[in-house]
Structure 1
């Protein structure tokens, strides 16, 4: 197994709350990511979305494109409508040879609304799961045929958030729907990454590595915080700075024969409180030492 270490620009400039890092130029983000030792970046809202515009920017910094988030709407759309909607994003990822497409169902989601407590997120009833799973599987089949397999991102504030919902989602979808292991969102939702790896390790095709500050998490849950308030308060941090045992996580991924190409640090924080270069460098050092120790 050989994995590469990537980073998400959300440490510098937040996609869900653009005021966080809104003045940070993309060039600074990329330069600091390269300085920290990362091999690639996932997309953020400041990235050009045309291959000919993005390619020279990444090339200047010696960086690859890892992947990029796609907001699906399969609870409202047909599969054909989703396939039509994904074309610009798919063309971009294919142009850079990305190994997966990060996909999350965002119908009715509240993670981008700072005024919405997480308790107000959408929840599927028992009768919705089978149809949702069929549509997502058909979408996954299409993306696999295109050479950019689907990596499903469960996420706070969406219809797939809790450990039980992750299990239900995996049960109603086929193997063309990969599972993105996000250590931070899973911990926030009360789950354990080791349990998901033990059950669904054969489906995991991408990994987001974020750590969690347990004191901030406890307060966010007690106060029924919005997702963005929790982020601003510092619920997430980089690997090695919180309560997630990344040595155990990476060891379990190795045992499950993780077939993804990347481990991506994706730890959104307020850059005014958590200096991006300092934190992502710390996170990369922690992960790279574990990768070397474990032989990933």
Structure 2
């Protein structure tokens, strides 16, 4: 075990997991009927202390908070799909950001616990990942004008989040205008470091042909939130060869938990983050079909991999 990697400690790095192992929140037909209570109980059983929010979670804040508190879980992040690059959606996007910030305030209620949730966003204007179309050939290339709209909008919601004591973390995502290495560089080079942070999603980067270790080295100081997941390279090849949609790619098993796929650089990635003193949420994610990949089994596999890699 690397002494550098071991500097990521549980005092500063908190392990979460997303409910996408138990069901899919983008494609609700990828579901075998696992209820909310079973999902969060298995998260806790597998050794996690945080989770993102899924569509089966109770909408009543008190009910949700009580259920998570009972299992020693906190919300690691809510998600906002931004739509700055299409017409008449700026106001609605900002309204959704404010709603999610209010949700976090209700959930954390002035707690002094340092494990605060981050606000995670990705631009879904012109995105093709929700559509039943070939993923890679149809990914959007944003125009200069659309880039201006996106950057201006991100700075606005970044300020709103900062005023609320939250970090806005941008998630490069398959099927969107910020997927390729050049787009990630453009985003990072044209946003204020205090307002727009980077979410490192190793799976989305690798599947897009972007080296997650290279991104980590280049932007380590701006990475404030992590989605750690692996890919199956043979499935990525099939997506290109057969023109699969994002939904079909998930059903075919494009993603899995770290240590179970084709990415070999997780220890180096975590070392790079340790070098810059990363503090925040490290969230396991594997958008898998639960009928093919038992959620609890894979959650425990990921926790075992982290225990071996981090030493805790």
Give the secondary structure class of the aligned counterpart of 2:169: strand
Question: Which residue pairs with 1:89 in the alignment?
Answer: 100
Give the secondary structure class of the aligned counterpart of 1:207: strand
Counterpart contact for 2:97–2:157, Cα < 8 Å? no
Does 1:250 find its partner at 2:270?
Answer: yes
For 1:117 and 1:81, locate their aligned partners in 2 and report how far apart those are by CA, in whole Å.
27
1:1-296 to 2 correspondences below 5 Å:
1=8, 2-76=12-86, 77=88, 81-97=92-108, 98-175=116-193, 176-244=195-263, 245-259=265-279, 261-292=280-311
Aligned length: 292
Give the secondary structure class of the aligned counterpart of 1:157: coil
Long gaps (5+) in structure 2: 1-7, 109-115
Q: Alpha-carbon deviation of 1:22?
A: 4.9
For 1:49 and 1:252, locate their aligned partners in 2 and report how far apart those are by CA, in whole Å.
38
Q: Could you report, residue by residue, the CA deviation over 1:178-218 in whole angstroms, capped at 9, with x for unpaired residues?
A: 10000000000101111111211111110000001111111
Bigger RCO of structures 1 and 2 (CA < 8 A, at least 6 apart) = 2
For 2:41 and 2:165, locate their aligned partners in 1 and report how far apart those are by CA, in whole Å.
29
Q: Which moves more between the two structures, 63-72 or 49-58?
A: 49-58
Give the secondary structure class of the aligned counterpart of 2:311: helix
Q: Could you report, residue by residue, the CA deviation over 1:235-263 in whole angstroms, capped at 9, with x for unpaired residues?
A: 1000100121211111111123223x111
TM-score by length of 1: 0.93
Q: Which moves more between the two structures, 12-21 or 111-120?
A: 111-120
Give the secondary structure class of the aligned counterpart of 1:104: strand
For 2:129 and 2:181, locate their aligned partners in 1 and report how far apart those are by CA, in whole Å.
18
RMSD: 1.7
Counterpart contact for 1:179–1:204, Cα < 8 Å? yes
Structure 1 residue ranges (4+ consecutive) displaced by more than 6 angstroms after TM superposition: none
Counterpart contact for 1:129–1:172, Cα < 8 Å? no
Q: Which moves more between the two structures, 125-134 or 263-272?
A: 125-134
TM-score by length of 2: 0.88
